[in-house]
Amino acid sequence: MKTKQETTAHLFEINHSLQQALFLAVIILCLFSIISPPIALLLGVLIVNIFGNPFIEFNHKAITFLLQFSVVGLGFGMNATSAVSAGKEGFLLTIVSIFATLIFGFLLGKWLKTEKKTSHLISCGTAICGGSAIAAISPVIKSNENQTSVALGVIFILNSIALFAFPFIGHQLDLSQKDFGLWCAIAIHDTSSVVGAANKYGAEALQVATTVKLARALWIIPISVLTAFLFKNKNTKIKIPYFIGLFILAMLINTYLPSTAVFSAHIVGIAKIGLTITLFLIGATLNFSTLKAVGVKPLLQGVFLWIFIAVLALLSILCLS
C-alpha cells in the first residue's frame, strides 16, 4: 500500500500534469487563432484560479519577450507616413495626459494615504505604459518586491477590464477608428491591452493605437530621470525600451521596401498570435492571492486615476474631432 506521503505526491503530480495540459491546450487554440485576445485573457484568469499556474516562475519573462516580439512584428503591417501623422496628433495630448496623471496620482496617493513608492509606481504605470513603466521605475526608486507586485497587480487588473470595456464603449459612442485608437493609447495602461482592444476595433485603430502608445513609452526615460531626482537616487540605471527601435525599423522596411509585402502579412499574423498568448499569460497571473495582496487603497488609487485619464482623454479627443 502507498503511504499518505506517496499518495499526496502522486496527486500533486497528476494536478501538475493537468495544469500543463490545460496551458498547452489554450496555447494551441491561440496558435490556430480559434480564440480572440479577450477570451484568451479570460481563460488565463479562470485557469489560474481553478487549477493554478504550473509555469509561474517563467510567466514574467515569457510575457516580456512575447509582447516585445509581437509589437515589433506588428510594425511590418504599418505605414511610416500614417504613423508619423498619428504620432503628431497624439503628441500634445500625450504630454498633457502624462503630467496630469502624475500630478493627480500624487494628490490621490496623499489623500488615500497610499504607501509613497507604491503610489508613484501606480501613477507612472497609468501615465506611461503599465507594467513596462513599473519595471523601469521600480529600480530607480528602489522599491521592494511587495511594493512592485502591488502596483503591477493594480495595473493588470484594470488592463483586463479595459480589454473588454473600451471596445464596447467605443461602439456605443460611435467613435471613429482614429479616435478610438488614440483613446486606447492614452487611457489603457499596458501596451498588450492597448493593442488587443484596438485590434478588436479595427485595422486603422490598431495602427494609431500602437504608434501613439510606443511613442508614449519613450517617456519612460525622462520620467525615470525626474523620478531619480525626486527620490534623490543619483546612481541609478535607467532602462531604455530598445524594442521600440526595432518596431520603427520594421515599419520603415514595410513602407519603403515593397518587396517585403510577400512575407509582411505572415509576420503580422504571427505577431497577433503572440499577442493573444501574451494576454493569456497575463490573465494567468491574476489569481485571488494577487487581488488580496493589492489592498483597498492602491486599488482605489488605480481606479480613480484610470477614470480620470480615460474621461480626460475622451473629452479632449471628442472636442478636437
Residue 8 has pLDDT above 60, yes or no: no
Closest residue by Cα to residue 204 from 227, 230, 183, 176: 176
DSSP per residue, 280-299 = HHHHTT--HHHHHHH-HHHH
Find all residues with CB under 8 Å of 54, minimum gap 6, and list them.
Answer: 16, 19, 20, 23
Q: What is the pLDDT of residue 309?
A: 94
* pLDDT (0 to 100) of residue 112: 93
- 224 contacts 136 by C-beta, under 8 angstroms: yes
Mean pLDDT of 12-18: 66
144 Cβ partners below 8 Å, 6+ apart?
Answer: none
Q: What is the pLDDT of residues 22-56, one digit of tens each?
A: 889 999 999 998 898 889 988 988 888 888 888 87
Torsion of CA 44, 46, 48, 49, to 10 degrees: 160
pLDDT number for residue 230: 83
Cα–Cα distance list, 14 to 8, 43, 114 (Å):
10, 21, 42
In this predicted structure, the answer to whether residue 14 has a pLDDT above a threshold of 60 is no
Domain-wise residue ranges, the chain: 4-320
Kindly report the backbone phi and psi dihedral angles of residue 236, in degrees, each rounded to the nearest multiple of 5, phi listed first.
-125, 145
Confidence band of 236 (pLDDT split at 50, 70, 90): low
DSSP H helical ranges for the chain:
4-31, 37-50, 56-74, 80-112, 116-127, 131-141, 145-172, 177-187, 191-201, 203-217, 220-230, 243-256, 261-283, 288-294, 296-320
Q: Tens digits of per-residue pLDDT, 133-171?
A: 888 888 888 888 788 888 888 888 898 899 999 999 999
> Residue 287 above 70 pLDDT?
yes
pLDDT at 168: 94
Q: All 3 cell numbers of residue 210? A: 500602437
User: Which of 120, 73, 70 has its CA nearest to residue 274?
Assistant: 70
Calculate mean pLDDT across residues 294-306: 91
Distance CA 123, CA 104 (A): 8
Question: How far is Cα 238 from Cα 172, in angstroms, rounded to an integer?
Answer: 41
Name the average pLDDT for the chain.
86
Greatest mean pLDDT among 40-54, 60-74, 165-179: 165-179
